[in-house]
Chain A
Amino acid sequence: MLRYVAHRLLASIPVLFLVTLISFSLMQLVPGDPAILIAGLQATPAEVERIRHQLGLDQPFHVQLFSWYAHLLRGELGTSLLLGRDVLEVILERLPVSFSIALYALFLTVLVGLLAGIVAALRQNTLIDQLVMTVALIGVSLPNFWLALMLIVLFAVQLGWLPSGGYVDFRQDLWGWLRATTLPAVSLAMLQMGLLARITRSTMLEVLRQDYIRTARAKGLPQRLVVGKHALKNVMIPVVTVLGIVLSLLLSGSVVIETIFSIPGIGSLLGSSILRRDYPVIQAGLLFVATMLLLLNLLVDLVYAWLDPRIRYGRGE
């Protein structure tokens, strides 16, 4: 297993190289010059050129690229052109924000999505099934920016139960964090809940028709054991695949949700850096997101093996 993990980690290096190469090249192609933004609109061409020189933006593409990789190998992600701060420091500052909200949203997704899917499958073709699937369909269909604004109007403006925006650090005030992140987490989770509920329902229906389930029932096992012990574990394989995708989406941050709720997370950082052409932050942000995706994929594969003993990773398999 260790050999497999090591192999996967090594295999991710060329992937990350490609991701950074493509993102670096794309940023060079997009019009927009941070030097102009820094210098101000009234700056003379000579002043803009001076700033470009200071930032190293006047270097040929390949020089800039190799310089970036050389710094990366030394563990340096550079300095933000517009924040004037170390990029790694800026990203690490945002990480707990996006991470905590992502986990909260994942918790809601699993709790509601899984439960709704199981209930709908067990009550197939009843009113409950139709109701759950209709709600799930609405969840999948609603644009999250619209949902977020509606949640603000209802829970912040009309009912006054939750704040309309802002972020509270969970290390300082857990209750404040819970209040501040509930609406963003629900907005993020709604789409994922719908997806998960639908996938859980269809997988569960398939599993419930299997012979071993019929056998378990014939043995006289109660419903909770049939579902909880025998069916659920088999349902989890496709569900875990979806959860991996969901978590990677949540962790990479949501530009829209973080913007609406004024949350200083990774998504908001990446969004504003793209608008300000802050190349080092964009590059490091995308590298971070790509790394997270690769690690999550690996984690999902490892969970498969835990869930299904037939799946084994290693030499000769």
Chain B
Amino acid sequence: MRVIRWLGASAVLALSVGLATGEARAQFTCPVKGGDLVFGQEAKVNSLDQHASSTISTRNIAMHIYESLMTRSEDNDPIPELAESVSTSDDGKVHTFELRQGITFHNGKPMTSKDVVASFERYKKVGIERVILNNVESWEAPDPHTFVIRMKVAQPTFLEDLSSFSVPIVITPAENTEAPPLKMEPIGTGPFQFVEFVADSHVKLKRFEGYKPNTAFKDRTGFGGYKVACLDTVTFRIVTEPGARVAGLETGELHAVEDVPQASVKRLKENKAITIVPYENFWIHIATPNFAKPPTDNPLVRRAIQIALDMEEIMEAATDGAYNLNFGFQTKNRKVYSDKGKEFFNVKDPAKAKELLKQAGYKGEELVLLTNKDYTSMYNAALVMAEQLKAIGMNVRLEVQDWPATIATRDKSHDAWNYHFTGWGTNQALGYLAVFKFLAKPKPIYNFKNPEDTDPVFDAAYNDMISKPTVEERYEAFARVQYRVMENGLALPFGWLTKNQAVRSNVKNFVPFRIPRMYNVWMEK
């Protein structure tokens, strides 16, 4: 049996620093305690039911209220949160979680394995990503502090899936788990507890005085680690208009905001009361092809399009300069990073593209770019791409709808579009196992019309990536998948978008991450 006990990343760091300096690093303490931080959030919240809502806006808030057995570190590695340790049987089919003791819910009730079982049961029924439990045969709670998961077949990547923060399996009291989708009471074990939710206005949280930080760590890391609520309360105010968010930050009514327009960044940088905190690589700006409608059913046409495009021009117009063109479906700081397939990216060779179109027998068939104005960057990217493709003689039309309509058109109207403009954010952040999920069976985004007619080379590499027993083999398979995506034009990445966040200068230790984290953040008076 392999037992994994975690010494948090910061604890390891502290140990090495301690050896060098002769002193151990202490656990995090709040330099200042108190204050009501008001955060300007860009999107509306429909529910705080973290099992049943997949939106970023829900996560922004709910991840302060709830916790899971496992989560991700600052480097995106799986780490325990409510689990003390995880052991996996030699055959890889049984995972045993020892729970941390002394954890209480916001309603004052101690957390036990019964609550974990009930939460898993509910997630299996209503959880948005319940597919991650498909390979689970059963679970049980042999004692109040142990939770056991039995798999149908060994799945080396299961713990990685389980630690996903996309729609996490958060633990809530057993009596709370009968709630229908979207209606679960926001009761968790996190450092902040729910106070009030006024739809389309704000959500208010306050410090949970009974919170027990995870002493396996020294400091916050990712969504886990040693978390402390320094602030008395946090109010997430819904401010969807970017100009109003910036104004609120300038007046001091808002202490932190997300998604600051690039046009305002220069001005805000000159304001000493405000600190800009850019979050790089927020999402991959991307378009996905439709194999069911000519001319994108032809690989040579897809290659011609790929070769013609100038990504710098597209990203500049799309993001107003808030981007980078680093190639790859994972960021360079991750061990899995590979530049396989780079030769197909940002080639900007219109002459060669024209030649390829000729070879492909392209006869002026209409190419429909399906985009939306809800995300201006997607609309702008489509506009520039259309112009670049017209320059090589293609017959391009922009189909502009609102975001939900583009999703419906993409999924149902297979003859109405050739490229769908989107952004891959959460999935790329979750890591290499998740980033290509949209292209994999049973719902390959490039061929919804004939989901069985997929790219066998991609499928084989993808299968290796999610099932090979060693990390090295999976990393190698990831590189092959990435190469195939580019080689066959299964997706058309443009570049990485930087999302600017900003805080008042008295807000300390606010480090941009996938969602804003308010624990271990304090406000100077």
- Residue numbers of A with Cβ under 8 A of B are 30-33, 36-45, 82-85, 90, 93, 149, 152-153, 156-157, 160, 163-167, 259-264, 268-269, 272, 275-277
**9 closest cross-chain pairs (CB), A and B:** A84-B182, A32-B404, A264-B200, A40-B54, A264-B201, A31-B405, A31-B408, A164-B247, A40-B128
Q: Could you list 12 examples of A-B contacts with CB < 8 Å?
A: A33-B412, A39-B128, A42-B437, A84-B49, A152-B243, A152-B247, A164-B244, A166-B201, A263-B201, A264-B200, A268-B200, A275-B404
Expressed in whole angstroms, the Cα–Cα distance for A160 and B247 within the complex equals: 11
Q: Indicate whether A84 sits within 8 Å of B128 (C-beta atoms), given known contacts A32-B402, A41-B407, A272-B200.
A: no
CB distance from A92 to the nearest CB of B (A): 13
In the assembled complex, which residues on chain B have CB atoms less than 8 Å from the CB atom of A44? 131, 442-443
In the assembled complex, which residues on chain A have CB atoms less than 8 Å from the CB atom of B251? 156-157, 160, 163-164
Expressed in whole angstroms, the Cα–Cα distance for A31 and B44 within the complex equals: 21
Task: Name the residue of chain A whose CB is nearest to the CB of B240.
Answer: A259
In the assembled complex, which residues on chain A have CB atoms less than 8 Å from the CB atom of B362? none
Partner of B180, one of A83, A84, A93, A269: A84
Q: Is the pair B46, A167 in contact by a Cβ cutoff of 8 Å?
A: no
Q: Is the pair A82, B47 in contact by a Cβ cutoff of 8 Å?
A: yes
In the assembled complex, which residues on chain B have CB atoms less than 8 Å from the CB atom of A31? 401, 404-405, 408-409, 412-413
Partner of A165, one of B52, B181, B244: B244
Expressed in whole angstroms, the Cα–Cα distance for A259 and B374 within the complex equals: 14
Expressed in whole angstroms, the Cα–Cα distance for A167 and B438 within the complex equals: 40
Expressed in whole angstroms, the Cα–Cα distance for A40 and B180 within the complex equals: 17
Q: Is the pair B438, A42 in contact by a Cβ cutoff of 8 Å?
A: yes
CB distance from A293 to the nearest CB of B (A): 23
CB distance from B181 to the nearest CB of A (A): 7
Q: Is the pair A157, B247 in contact by a Cβ cutoff of 8 Å?
A: yes
Q: Which of B47, B408, B413, B442 gathers the greatest number of chain A CB atoms within 10 Å?
A: B408
Q: Which of A30, A167, A262, A272 gathers the greatest number of chain B CB atoms within 10 Å?
A: A262
Expressed in whole angstroms, the Cα–Cα distance for A75 and B374 within the complex equals: 35
Q: Is the pair A262, B201 in contact by a Cβ cutoff of 8 Å?
A: yes
CB distance from B263 to the nearest CB of A (A): 13
Q: Is the pair B44, A260 in contact by a Cβ cutoff of 8 Å?
A: no
Expressed in whole angstroms, the Cα–Cα distance for A44 and B131 within the complex equals: 9
**How many B residues face the partner with a CB closer than 8 A?**
47
Q: Is B129 an interface residue (CB 8 A)?
A: yes
Q: Is B199 an interface residue (CB 8 A)?
A: yes
Which of chain B's residues 233-282 have a Cβ closer than 8 Å to chain A?
A: 237-241, 243-244, 247-248, 250-251, 253
Q: A166-B201, A264-B201, A275-B404 known; 7 other A-B pairs, CB under 8 Å?
A: A32-B408, A83-B46, A83-B47, A84-B183, A156-B247, A156-B253, A276-B46
Q: Is the pair A33, B238 in contact by a Cβ cutoff of 8 Å?
A: no
Query: How many cross-chain pairs have Cβ atoms below 8 Å apart between A and B?
Result: 128
Q: Mark B222-241, 1 if CB is under 8 A from A, else 0.
A: 00000000000000011111
Q: Is B167 an interface residue (CB 8 A)?
A: yes
Q: Is the pair A84, B181 in contact by a Cβ cutoff of 8 Å?
A: yes
CB distance from A254 to the nearest CB of B (A): 13
Task: Name the residue of chain A whose CB is nearest to the CB of B437.
Answer: A42
Q: Is the pair B47, A84 in contact by a Cβ cutoff of 8 Å?
A: yes
Q: Which of A36, A42, A85, A157 gathers the greatest number of chain B CB atoms within 10 Å?
A: A42
Task: Name the residue of chain A whose CB is nearest to the CB of B130.
Answer: A47
Task: Name the residue of chain A whose CB is nearest to the CB of B43.
Answer: A272
CB distance from B383 to the nearest CB of A (A): 21
Q: Is the pair B404, A262 in contact by a Cβ cutoff of 8 Å?
A: no
Which of chain B's residues 431-452 have a Cβ closer than 8 Å to chain A?
A: 437-438, 442-443
Q: Is the pair B247, A153 in contact by a Cβ cutoff of 8 Å?
A: yes
Q: Is B20 an interface residue (CB 8 A)?
A: no
Partner of A37, one of B49, B239, B404, B409: B404
Task: Name the residue of chain A whose CB is nearest to the CB of B408.
Answer: A31
Which of chain B's residues 115-171 have a Cβ closer than 8 Å to chain A?
A: 128-129, 131, 167
Q: Is the pair B437, A36 in contact by a Cβ cutoff of 8 Å?
A: no
CB distance from A37 to the nearest CB of B (A): 6
Expressed in whole angstroms, the Cα–Cα distance for A30 and B407 within the complex equals: 12
CB distance from B274 to the nearest CB of A (A): 12
In the assembled complex, which residues on chain B have CB atoms less than 8 Å from the CB atom of A93? 199
Q: Is the pair B443, A45 in contact by a Cβ cutoff of 8 Å?
A: yes
In the assembled complex, which residues on chain A have CB atoms less than 8 Å from the CB atom of B247? 149, 152-153, 156-157, 164-165
Expressed in whole angstroms, the Cα–Cα distance for A41 and B199 within the complex equals: 24
CB distance from A189 to the nearest CB of B (A): 19
Task: Name the residue of chain B whose CB is nearest to the CB of A274.
Answer: B402
In the assembled complex, which residues on chain B have CB atoms less than 8 Å from the CB atom of A38? 52, 181-182
Q: Which of B200, B238, B407, B413 gathers the greatest number of chain A CB atoms within 10 Å?
A: B200
Expressed in whole angstroms, the Cα–Cα distance for A166 and B236 within the complex equals: 12
Q: Indicate whether A33 sits within 8 Å of B404 (C-beta atoms), given known contacts A82-B47, A164-B248.
A: yes
In the assembled complex, which residues on chain A have CB atoms less than 8 Å from the CB atom of B198? 264
CB distance from B432 to the nearest CB of A (A): 16
Q: Is B411 an interface residue (CB 8 A)?
A: yes
Expressed in whole angstroms, the Cα–Cα distance for A152 and B248 within the complex equals: 9
Expressed in whole angstroms, the Cα–Cα distance for A166 and B244 within the complex equals: 10
Expressed in whole angstroms, the Cα–Cα distance for A85 and B240 within the complex equals: 22
In the assembled complex, which residues on chain B have CB atoms less than 8 Å from the CB atom of A264? 198-201, 238
CB distance from B451 to the nearest CB of A (A): 8
Task: Name the residue of chain A whose CB is nearest to the CB of B179.
Answer: A84
Q: Is the pair B182, A262 in contact by a Cβ cutoff of 8 Å?
A: no
Q: Is the pair B404, A276 in contact by a Cβ cutoff of 8 Å?
A: yes
In the assembled complex, which residues on chain A have CB atoms less than 8 Å from the CB atom of B237? 165-166, 262
Q: Mark B411-429, 1 if CB is under 8 A from A, else 0.
A: 1110000000000000000
CB distance from B459 to the nearest CB of A (A): 17
Q: Is B510 an interface residue (CB 8 A)?
A: no
In the assembled complex, which residues on chain B have CB atoms less than 8 Å from the CB atom of A164? 244, 247-248, 251, 253
In the assembled complex, which residues on chain A have CB atoms less than 8 Å from the CB atom of B442? 44
Q: Indicate whether A40 sits within 8 Å of B201 (C-beta atoms), given known contacts A261-B244, A275-B404.
A: no
In the assembled complex, which residues on chain B have CB atoms less than 8 Å from the CB atom of A37? 404, 407
Q: Is B403 an interface residue (CB 8 A)?
A: yes
Task: Name the residue of chain A whose CB is nearest to the CB of B128.
Answer: A40
Q: Is the pair A167, B201 in contact by a Cβ cutoff of 8 Å?
A: yes
Q: Indicate whether A262 sits within 8 Å of B239 (C-beta atoms), given known contacts A37-B404, A83-B182, A157-B251.
A: yes
In the assembled complex, which residues on chain A have CB atoms less than 8 Å from the CB atom of B239? 165, 262
In the assembled complex, which residues on chain B have CB atoms less than 8 Å from the CB atom of A165? 237, 239, 244, 247-248, 253
Q: Indicate whether A42 sits within 8 Å of B129 (C-beta atoms), given known contacts A84-B182, A156-B251.
A: yes
Q: Is the pair B167, A40 in contact by a Cβ cutoff of 8 Å?
A: yes
Expressed in whole angstroms, the Cα–Cα distance for A174 and B487 within the complex equals: 64
Expressed in whole angstroms, the Cα–Cα distance for A260 and B411 within the complex equals: 32
Q: Is the pair B46, A262 in contact by a Cβ cutoff of 8 Å?
A: no
Q: Is the pair B129, A260 in contact by a Cβ cutoff of 8 Å?
A: no
In the assembled complex, which residues on chain B have CB atoms less than 8 Å from the CB atom of A32? 402, 404-405, 407-408
In the assembled complex, which residues on chain A have CB atoms less than 8 Å from the CB atom of B46? 82-84, 276
Q: Is the pair A275, B402 in contact by a Cβ cutoff of 8 Å?
A: yes
CB distance from B103 to the nearest CB of A (A): 28
Task: Name the residue of chain A whose CB is nearest to the CB of B182.
Answer: A84
Expressed in whole angstroms, the Cα–Cα distance for A31 and B402 within the complex equals: 9
Q: Is the pair A262, B240 in contact by a Cβ cutoff of 8 Å?
A: yes
In the assembled complex, which residues on chain B have CB atoms less than 8 Å from the CB atom of A166? 201-202, 237, 253
Task: Name the residue of chain B whose CB is nearest to the CB of A149.
Answer: B243
